[in-house]
Structure 1
Amino acid sequence: MTTGFDFLVRRLRLRHLELLPALAETGTLRAAAGRLHLSQPALSKMLREAEEALGARLFERTRQGVQATAAGLAAVHRSRVVLSELAHAHREAGALRSGASAVLRVGTFSVTAAVPAAVVRLRQAMPGAAVHLHEGRVRELAQRLLEGELDCVFGALTPELLASDWLASLQHELLLPDRLCVLAAESNPLQRRRRLRWTDLRTAAWAAPPRDTLVRQAFMAAFLNEGLDPPEPVIEAMSSVTLGAVLRLDPALLCAARQEHVREEVARGGVRALPVGPVVELPPLGLFTRRSAVAQTPVVQAFARAIREVGQAGGRAGRGA
C-alpha cells in the first residue's frame, strides 16, 4: 500500500463512510445529523476529517444546504459499495454459521429458464451454496451490482445500458442470443400452420408486457416493419406467471414473449411457440459482474461457469430448432 493509503486507513472510520451517503441523500447538515443521531458540530467535524483524509473538498455549502462536489459524488458511491459489502459480509457470516458454504446474490429478470438451470448446476458443484435471486430490470440491477448489493447480474445488453456512463465499470460476457417469440395454447388453430407471418396475426387477441419493455417494443416493431399498425393487446401484464396463466385459460389468445419465457412456458406444458417470420432479434443476454482488480469469489466463478454451460447448451438447442 502507498503512504497516502496508509494515512487514509488510519484516519477514515466506518462512521465517516456512513456520513457521506447520509449528507448526499438528505442535502442538509441538520437532516444528516438527525439521521445519524449526532449533533451538527460533531457531524461538521467528521466531514472535515473525511475531507482531510481523502485530500479533497467533498461538499459545498449552499443556501439550500450542502451539495456534493465531483470528488464527493465519487466518495459517496464508494462509501455505499463498502457499506453494502460489509452488510453482505455480516449476512454471509450468519449464513455460514447456519451451514451454508457460500452465499451468492444474483440479479435477473423475472422470466428466465437459464438462471434456474445454472443455479441447479451450481448447487451440484457446490452443494452447500445458498443462492439469493433478486428480480428486476437490468438497469436497476446493474446499479445495485455497482453499489455492492449484488454479486452478478444476468440480463440483456440493452441500448440503454450500452449508452450508460458506468458500463466501463462492468465486466460482461454475452452468452445467449434472444428474439421475439409468439406463444399459443396447444389447442389454438394456428398451431396447425407450419409457417406464419406477422401480417397473419394482425387481428389476433394479444397478451403482452407493458410498452416500456424490450419485448413490447420489439412486438410493435414486428408489425411496423410489415407496414402495419401494431395491435393493441387486450391483456397487458408484466408478470410472466400472469401471461402464462391467461394463455392457458383462453386458447384464443396469443402472447408476445422473449425466447427465455418461451422455454419456461413450453416446459410447463399446454403451450407451444408459433413459427412466425421474419425473426425479430432482441439484445443478447449475458452475465455482468463488477470490474475489479480483486478476483471474483469462488461461488461467483462457479456460477459464471454454470451459466456459461447453460448458454452453450441453449445455443446448440437454438441452432437445432
Structure 2
Amino acid sequence: MSENMVHRLQPKHFSLIRSIAELGQLSLAAQALALTQPAASRMLGEIERYVGTAVFNRTPKGMEPTPVGLALARRAQNLLEEIHEAAREVDAIRRGMTGTVRVGAVTGAAVGYVVPAIQSLKDEAPGADVHVDVAPSLKLVHDLIAGHLDFVLGRVPASMDPRQFRVDNAFTEDVDIVVHQTHPLVNVDNVHLSHMTHFPWVMQAPGSPLRLAVESVFIEQGTPIPANIVNTTSLLVMIAMLASSNAIAPMSREVADLLCRQTRTAGLCTLKVDVEMTVMPYHLISFSSKRMTPIAIRLRELLLKEFELRNRNKG
C-alpha cells in the first residue's frame, strides 16, 4: 500500500468504503450516498487503484471486505466521525454556540425540563460548558440577581418585586407519594390521607411550595398532618430513608418518574393515592435588561420548546 494513498483518499472514498462494508451491496451503498451505481463503481475502482489492491471481493451473496477493506472500513468509521465532530464544532463556533451557560432550577424542573434541554443543546454544541444548580427558589433567584446564573426555573419569592424580572410561562408541578416497594401501603388501591398519617415522612422544610401543597391537602380533607417528619432538601437523604424504612416522601412527578420508572435500582414506587396534589406553578425567570450569550439564549429556547412539546402532548 503506497504512502501516497494517505494523500489521495478523500472523505467521500471512506464514506463509500464504510457503506459497502455495512450494507454488503454496491447498489445499496450507492443509494445510501445518493450516488448512481456507475458512479459508485467508478469511485470504488479509483479507491482500489490508489490502494493498489482489492478492497472488496465480489461474491454471489454480495461484497465482502478483504483484510485491507476491513482495515479501511474500521478507520473510515473513526475518520468520518472526527470529520463530523469537527464540522459541528466549527458550526457551533460560527453561531456563537460555545462558552458557558449557568442555569438554576428547582428539582422537578431540573429533571423534567433542564436535562432534556441540555441533551438537545449538547447535540448542537458538544463543547458548550453547562452548569446546573438545583436549589430552592429563594437561593436561585438570589444567585440570579448576583449574576451567578443566566436564568432559573423557579418561583419569584414573595419578598421580591416580580417587575424586575422577565417571567415566562407557568410550569405545573404535580406531586406523587413515593415509598419503598416493601411498604405496607404499596398494594392498597385508593390510599386515603388517613392511611398515611401515622407513618414517618421525609420532605422539604416548612414553607417550601411542595410542603405547602401537601399540607394544604391534609387540611382540606380534614386529616391530621403527619407528626413524624424529617425535613431535608437532599434528594439523596430522601432516597436513603425510603430505602431503609417505611417512610413516605412527596416528590414532584418528574422526580418520582425518574426514581420509580426510569431507574429502579433503589426499589422505589408510588402509592395510588385517592387525591391529587399540585404545587403552585414555577416559571422561567431572567432579567429582561441583561443580555444573554448566544449559548444561554439557545438553552433557554430549548427549554421553552420542551415546555411547548409537553403541553401539546397533554392536549
Structure 2 length as normaliser, TM-score?
0.61
2:204 and 2:291 mapped to 1: Cα distance?
38
Q: Deviations for 1:88-139, whole angstroms, at most 9, x for unmatched residues?
A: xxxxxxxx9xxx9221011223453122222222111221110122333212
Q: Give, as a single letter, the amino acid of the residue that structure 2 aligns with 1:262.
A: A
Q: Secondary structure at the match of 2:172?
A: strand
Are 1:102 and 2:96 counterparts?
no
Show the counterpart of 2:233: 238
Show the counterpart of 2:303: 307
Identity %: 19
Instruction: Indicate how the Cα distance of structure 1 residues 109 and 254 shifts in structure 2: closer, same or farther if over 3 A, else same.
Output: same
Show the counterpart of 1:113: 111
The answer to whether the 8 A contact 1:175-1:311 is kept is no
Which of residues 262, 279, 288 is equivalent to 1:282?
279
Q: Secondary structure at the match of 1:104?
A: strand
Q: Give, as a single letter, the amino acid of the residue that structure 2 aligns with 1:307.
A: L
Task: Report how far residue 239 of structure 1 moved.
Answer: 0.3
Q: Secondary structure at the match of 2:123?
A: helix
Show the counterpart of 2:88: none
Instruction: Indicate how the Cα distance of structure 1 residues 272 and 314 shifts in structure 2: closer, same or farther if over 3 A, else same.
Output: farther
2:307 and 2:119 mapped to 1: Cα distance?
14
Task: Report how far residue 316 of structure 1 moved.
Answer: 6.0
Give the number of the structure whose alpha-carbon radius of gyration is greater. Answer: 2
Instruction: Indicate how the Cα distance of structure 1 residues 177 and 110 shifts in structure 2: closer, same or farther if over 3 A, else same.
Output: closer
Structure 2: stretches of 5+ with no match in the other structure? 1-92
1:310 and 1:245 mapped to 2: Cα distance?
31
2:294 and 2:231 mapped to 1: Cα distance?
41
How many pairs are equivalent?
215
Show the counterpart of 1:268: 263
Structure 1 length as normaliser, TM-score?
0.60
Show the counterpart of 1:128: 127
Q: Give, as a single letter, the amino acid of the residue that structure 2 aligns with 1:104.
A: V
The answer to whether the 8 A contact 2:193-2:223 is kept is no
Instruction: Please tell me the root mean square deviation across aligned C-alpha atoms, in Å.
Output: 2.5
Show the counterpart of 1:201: 196
2:271 and 2:303 mapped to 1: Cα distance?
27
The answer to whether the 8 A contact 2:170-2:283 is kept is yes
2:171 and 2:207 mapped to 1: Cα distance?
22
2:244 and 2:126 mapped to 1: Cα distance?
38
Show the counterpart of 1:149: 148
The answer to whether the 8 A contact 1:176-1:315 is kept is no
Instruction: Indicate how the Cα distance of structure 1 residues 256 and 233 shifts in structure 2: closer, same or farther if over 3 A, else same.
Output: farther
1:262 and 1:219 mapped to 2: Cα distance?
15
Instruction: Within 5 Å, give how 1:163-242 maps onto structure 2.
Output: 164-165=160-161, 167-242=162-237
Instruction: Indicate how the Cα distance of structure 1 residues 235 and 304 shifts in structure 2: closer, same or farther if over 3 A, else same.
Output: same
Are 1:298 and 2:297 counterparts?
no
Q: Give, as a single letter, the amino acid of the residue that structure 2 aligns with 1:152.
A: F
Instruction: Indicate how the Cα distance of structure 1 residues 207 and 144 shifts in structure 2: closer, same or farther if over 3 A, else same.
Output: closer
Q: Give, as a single letter, the amino acid of the residue that structure 2 aligns with 1:282.
A: V
1:249 and 1:258 mapped to 2: Cα distance?
21
Instruction: Indicate how the Cα distance of structure 1 residues 214 and 298 shifts in structure 2: closer, same or farther if over 3 A, else same.
Output: same
Q: Secondary structure at the match of 2:185?
A: helix
2:270 and 2:282 mapped to 1: Cα distance?
20
1:272 and 1:312 mapped to 2: Cα distance?
28
The answer to whether the 8 A contact 2:199-2:228 is kept is no
Show the counterpart of 2:248: 254
Show the counterpart of 2:138: 139
Task: Report how far residue 254 of structure 1 moved.
Answer: 1.3
Structure 1: stretches of 5+ with no match in the other structure? 1-95
